């Protein structure tokens, strides 16, 4: 029988390093977080061979006192927390007290520092199997330099798992990028094998913040991004979200920060995906750089060794806040706002997206309030491109629905044969339905006889091209509109408004459907009955491991009810929330609106085309159809002059 022995300090640290130090990027993350917590405003990172041979980080923080240098390389030693109360309200990036000890156990580490207020600098390094330390005088300005050489030199098995130099450096660069996005008030310099990669100066205003975003994420992101800043219920969300037409094939341009800490959280991902659901192709991913600020006591950052994951005390509140604010911000992007932005800043608009002709164009900033973490005054400015909190009130005044039956049927969404009594799939009303109207203009709410003091954002129609596109003359140039895609969005948004503003029509099942589930799943159904009832489902628990579906909404009467209920339960179990019922209803309405929208080769009069343009200007998400395709594009006079070489 093996006797129980106490592990040596070096072996214990190397085991801990298995959790903390996965690759060179892990080392850089831990060291840079320590520097930021020390108040550094400038960070210089020099690496060789992807960080395997050498990682040298220098900061201008408060430094480390001579008497604390040996402790700095010991396990479970930190200046950031003392009591349990400190742990429950962590305001620093690092706090475990294991990073330096773990790194020094698998590398040759030298730490040189001069503490604030001291006249001498000191250097510490570890020696021997017991990791004893030696401290000696050194020359160094205020701050700290950590030099890590030959990573995993004494653990060759770990070193074999490293990838190529290029791959390891890409991971390391991503760490620097994330921290540079989290701290605009700090300068970052990164060099690899003597070649400078980044030289980012501290940010002082909105324009320089967008320059940093462009340097790190590419010019296209900031050219196609909306600024957002909203607060509610003790939560604050600010940052940039990409327009729906600027989507990616993979989720590689998504950065989310909680109190300055970058995290990857499934609840956050679900909320953002739900907010973009109506405007993206299947398989496409939105882009964003978002910052959530909340009371540190309401979020647990100590649930993962590398602190990449967090746990919110009230996850549903956070999810609903993120979804509603991002959803409103996207909904408020209409041709009016995009065309005005182009007019004011000299942008050209393509595929419904404002695209600056220069690398970075100054844009109106948001009226941001004081932020509890990393406050930066440059983010507070008078005018916002996205006023998310005002969306609901504006829509109420702009939309002029003249009753569901006439509005929906005349727009082509629901037109059964004349004289037949039909059950409306959305409201359940039994009524005598009108015959299909051949006058497309009756499907639009805008008046074609209005006189305008100024030219509307989408201008006035000039002609119809090949029965597919509307050519319009605007104040800035010409605009092309895909009439089917545009009308599809208009019909869809009206259908959703009618569906959600009226009580949802339901139908009791003649034979209720019994669904066998686990006990925990039955508990979920019992605890989340409002999720089902909000969409016309009546689902009751009938046993320890069974539930019964007794009533369903008419719009989903032909759906596979049992499969749908199981999917909702699964979603509730995984995310704590579920929007699958709403998603299924929206999918059905999107299909109906696609078939009901005006088709290609349908001849429209000038009045009908102008009516469609006016409706686009007041319809949410009118820049994209239900499938994520752009509905309009613009060429400014400047674009046309360049095309024909005018002025040369």
Task: List 45's β-bridge partners, or say none.
Answer: 57, 190
How far is 572 from 640, CA to CA, in rounded Å?
Answer: 53
Band of pLDDT at residue 473, cut at 50, 70 and 90: very high
Percent of residues, the chain, with pLDDT higher than 90: 43
> Which has more confidence, 8 or 475?
475
Check residue 275 and give its pLDDT.
92
SS3 content of the chain, % helix, strand, coil (to 5): 40, 25, 40
The SS3 assignment for 509 reads strand
- Of the listed ranges 101-115, 290-304, 342-356, the least confidently predicted one is 342-356
Section 580-591 average pLDDT: 83
> Which has more confidence, 13 or 44?
44
> Which has more confidence, 558 or 517?
517
Check residue 4 and give its pLDDT.
83
Check residue 288 and give its pLDDT.
96
Comparing CA positions, the residue from 598, 599, 587 lying closest to residue 626 is 587
- Of the listed ranges 7-21, 244-258, 437-451, 602-616, the least confidently predicted one is 437-451
Q: With 70 as the cut, is the pLDDT of residue 8 above it?
A: yes
Q: With 60 as the cut, is the pLDDT of residue 269 above it?
A: yes
Name the strands in the sheet holding 469-473, side by side, starting at the edge strand that comes first in the sequence: 460-465, 469-473, 477-482, 632-636
Q: With 80 as the cut, is the pLDDT of residue 147 above it?
A: yes
Average pLDDT, the chain: 79
Check residue 596 and give its pLDDT.
75
Section 537-564 average pLDDT: 90
Check residue 299 and give its pLDDT.
87
Reading the block at residue 596, the tokens are 């009901």
Q: Which of 169-173, 403-407, 451-455, 494-498 has the highest mean pLDDT?
A: 169-173
> Which has more confidence, 159 or 421?
159
Residues with Cβ within 8 Å of 578's Cβ and at least 6 positions away in sequence, in order, are: 528, 531, 568, 571, 572
How far is 78 from 33, CA to CA, in rounded Å?
Answer: 13
Q: With 90 as the cut, is the pLDDT of residue 495 above it?
A: no
> Over the stretch 615-639, which tens digit does the pLDDT of each residue have?
999 998 888 888 778 899 999 999 9
> Over the stretch 500-513, which tens digit does the pLDDT of each residue have?
877 778 899 999 99
Band of pLDDT at residue 75, cut at 50, 70 and 90: confident
The SS3 assignment for 2 reads coil
Report yes or no: 565 and 549 within 8 Å, Cβ to Cβ: yes
Q: With 90 as the cut, is the pLDDT of residue 81 above it?
A: no
Band of pLDDT at residue 420, cut at 50, 70 and 90: very low
> Over the stretch 225-249, which tens digit does the pLDDT of each residue have?
999 999 999 999 999 999 988 889 8
> Which has more confidence, 517 or 403?
517
Does the CA dihedral 552-555-561-567 come out positive or negative?
Answer: negative
- Of the listed ranges 168-177, 258-267, 421-430, the least confidently predicted one is 421-430
* Complete DSSP assignment for 62-114: ----GGGHHHHTSTT--SS--SHHHHHT--SS--SS-HHHHHHHTSEEEEEEE
How far is 321 from 640, CA to CA, in rounded Å?
Answer: 43
Reading the block at residue 132, the tokens are 């004893």
Count how many Cα atoms sit within 13 Å of the Cα of residue 417 in the half-sphere of its side chain.
1
How far is 293 from 289, CA to CA, in rounded Å?
Answer: 13
Neighbours of 61 (CB within 10 A): 22
Residue in the block written with tokens 């950031």: 80
How far is 536 from 500, CA to CA, in rounded Å?
Answer: 11
Walk me through the domains of the chain, giving residue ranges and CATH numbers: 9-200 (3.30.565.10), 206-346+366-392 (3.30.230.10), 399-499+594-643 (3.30.1540.20), 506-593 (3.30.1370.100)
State the virtual CA torsion across 268, 272, 273, 275 in degrees, nearest 10.
140
Task: List 240's β-bridge partners, or say none.
Answer: 227, 289
> Which has more confidence, 444 or 9?
9
> Which has more confidence, 359 or 162?
162
Check residue 55 and give its pLDDT.
97
- Of the listed ranges 174-188, 528-542, 594-608, the least confidently predicted one is 594-608
Report yes or no: 116 and 102 within 8 Å, Cβ to Cβ: no
Reading the block at residue 515, the tokens are 């669904």
Check residue 502 and give its pLDDT.
74
Reading the block at residue 494, the tokens are 């009206």
> Over the stretch 287-329, which tens digit does the pLDDT of each residue have?
999 999 999 888 887 766 666 778 898 988 999 999 999 999 9
Q: State how beta strands 632-636 and 477-482 pair.
A: antiparallel
> Which has more confidence, 484 or 307?
484
> Which has more confidence, 326 or 1?
326
């Amino acid at each position: 029988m093996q006797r129980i022995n106490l592990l040596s300090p070096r072996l214990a640290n190397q085991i801990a390093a298995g959790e903390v130090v996965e690759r060179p990027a892990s080392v850089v993350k831990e060291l840079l977080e320590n520097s930021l917590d020390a108040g550094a405003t400038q960070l210089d990172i020099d690496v060789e061979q992807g960080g395997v041979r050498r990682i040298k980080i220098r900061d201008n923080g408060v430094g480390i006192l001579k008497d604390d240098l040996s402790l700095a390389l010991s396990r479970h030693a930190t200046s950031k927390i003392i009591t349990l109360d400190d742990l429950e309200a962590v305001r620093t990036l690092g706090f475990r007290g294991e990073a330096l000890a773990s790194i020094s156990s698998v590398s040759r580490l030298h730490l040189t520092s001069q503490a604030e207020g001291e006249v001498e600098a000191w250097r510490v390094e570890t020696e021997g199997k017991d990791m004893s330390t030696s401290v000696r005088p050194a020359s160094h300005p205020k701050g700290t330099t950590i030099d890590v050489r030959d990573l995993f030199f004494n653990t060759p098995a770990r070193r074999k798992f490293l990838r190529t130099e290029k791959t390891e450096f890409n991971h390391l660069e991503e760490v620097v990028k994330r921290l540079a996005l989290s701290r605009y008030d700090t300068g970052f310099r990164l060099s690899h094998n003597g070649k400078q990669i980044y030289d980012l100066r501290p940010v002082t205003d909105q324009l320089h913040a967008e320059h940093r975003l462009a340097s790190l994420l590419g010019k296209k992101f900031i050219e196609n991004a909306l600024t957002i800043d909203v607060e509610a219920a003790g939560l604050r969300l600010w940052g940039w979200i990409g327009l729906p037409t600027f989507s990616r094939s993979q989720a590689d341009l998504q950065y989310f920060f909680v109190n300055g800490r970058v995290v990857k959280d499934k609840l956050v991902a679900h909320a953002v995906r739900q907010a973009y659901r109506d405007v993206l192709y299947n398989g496409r991913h939105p882009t964003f750089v978002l910052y959530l600020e909340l009371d540190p006591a309401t979020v647990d950052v100590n649930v993962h060794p590398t602190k990449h994951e967090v746990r919110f005390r009230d996850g549903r509140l956070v999810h609903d806040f993120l979804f509603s604010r991002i959803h409103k911000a996207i909904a408020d992007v209409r041709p009016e706002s995009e065309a005005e932005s182009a007019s004011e800043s000299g942008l050209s608009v393509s595929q419904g997206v404002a695209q600056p002709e220069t690398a970075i164009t100054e844009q109106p900033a948001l009226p941001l309030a004081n932020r509890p973490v990393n406050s930066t005054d440059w983010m507070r400015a008078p005018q916002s491109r996205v006023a998310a909190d005002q969306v609901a009130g504006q829509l109420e005044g702009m939309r002029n629905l003249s009753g569901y039956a006439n509005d929906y049927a005349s727009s082509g969404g629901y037109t059964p044969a004349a004289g037949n009594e039909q059950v409306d799939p959305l409201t359940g009303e039994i009524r005598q339905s009108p015959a299909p109207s051949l006058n497309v203009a009756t499907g639009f709410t805008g008046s074609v006889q209005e006189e305008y003091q100024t030219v509307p954002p989408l201008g006035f129609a000039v002609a119809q091209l090949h029965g597919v596109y509307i050519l319009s003359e605007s104040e800035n140039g010409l605009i092309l509109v895909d009439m089917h895609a545009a009308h599809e969005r208009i019909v869809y948004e009206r259908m959703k408004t009618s569906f959600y503003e009226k009580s949802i029509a339901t139908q009791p099942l003649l034979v209720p459907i019994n669904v066998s589930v686990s006990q925990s799943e039955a508990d979920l159904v019992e605890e989340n009955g409002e999720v089902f009832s909000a969409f016309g489902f009546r689902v009751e628990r009938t046993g320890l491991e069974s539930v019964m579906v007794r009533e369903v909404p008419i719009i989903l009467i032909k759906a596979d009810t049992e499969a749908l209920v199981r999917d909702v339960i699964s979603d509730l179990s995984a995310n704590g929330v579920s929007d699958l019922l709403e998603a299924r209803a929206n999918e059905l309405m999107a299909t109906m609106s696609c078939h009901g929208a005006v088709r290609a080769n349908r001849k429209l009069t000038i009045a009908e085309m102008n009516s469609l343009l006016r409706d686009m200007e007041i319809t949410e998400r009118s820049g994209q159809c239900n499938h994520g395709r752009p509905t309009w594009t613009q060429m400014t006079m400047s674009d046309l002059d360049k095309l024909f070489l005018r002025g040369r």
